[in-house]
Amino acid sequence: METLIGMVGKDFVLTAADTSAARSITVMKSNEDKSRDLNKHIVMLYSGEPGDTVHFAEYIQRNVRFYEIKNGIELTPKAAATFTRKELATSLRSRHPYAVNLLIAGYDVTTLTSQLYWIDYLGSSISVPFAAHGYGAYYTLSLLDRYHRPDLSLDEAKILIKKCIDELKSRFIINLADFKIKVADKDGYLLE
């Protein structure tokens, strides 16, 4: 019942994640943050089984931070996505695989590019211009396909993300009351 949305703009990545935590027919929490900041320029959004998501997200967050402390350099979005995909693929071959879907969004300060990676629970990973996970993807991907352009400005991206959220509110049977929106750019990430 969760929805994650992301899109790459001209020099930023805009992400949105719903804030509801539900199980079956019960909403248990309506202010859940389904994102982790991996470093100043990278944000990871996650959805899936509640215990798996938080545990896996914290594991990735702490290992990325440990790598930066140990080696003295920040990981790029591609490196963070590759590490995350490897950890998911390794867990898939264990007795207790993680059931987690991810979007890793960030700004690469070495190549001065914005990047978005779509990763599913099977360890598949791909760099994409826009992405969505969850049931909300059925409604939002068509809008993103129609209106997304590589040279989107931040204001245009905000309008597009609002269209996606409005579409979910008008057509999706589940009430996703609120979304947390984050933008990652050359200055770091910020909350919208």
pLDDT tens sequence across 47-101: 998 888 999 999 999 999 999 999 999 999 999 999 999 999 999 999 889 999 9
Tell me the whole-structure pTM to 2 decimals.
0.92
Alpha-carbon span 94 to 158, nearest angstrom: 40
Please report the pLDDT score of residue 62 as a whole number. Answer: 96
The DSSP element (H or E) to which 182 belongs, if any, is strand 179-185
Please report the pLDDT score of residue 67 as a whole number. Answer: 95
Residue 166, token pair as written in the block: 């409005």
Alpha-carbon span 54 to 137, nearest angstrom: 21
Region of 29 please: left (phi>0), alpha (psi -120 to 50) or beta. beta
Please report the pLDDT score of residue 98 as a whole number. Answer: 92
Can you say whether the dihedral through the CA atoms of 174, 23, 30, 55 is positive or negative? negative
Alpha-carbon span 5 to 17, nearest angstrom: 6
The mean pLDDT values, 10 residues at a time, for the chain of 192 residues are 92 92 77 90 93 93 95 94 95 91 95 96 95 92 94 94 92 80 86 66
Query: What structural domains and CATH numbers belong to the chain?
Result: 4-191 (3.60.20.10)
Please report the pLDDT score of residue 192 as a whole number. Answer: 62
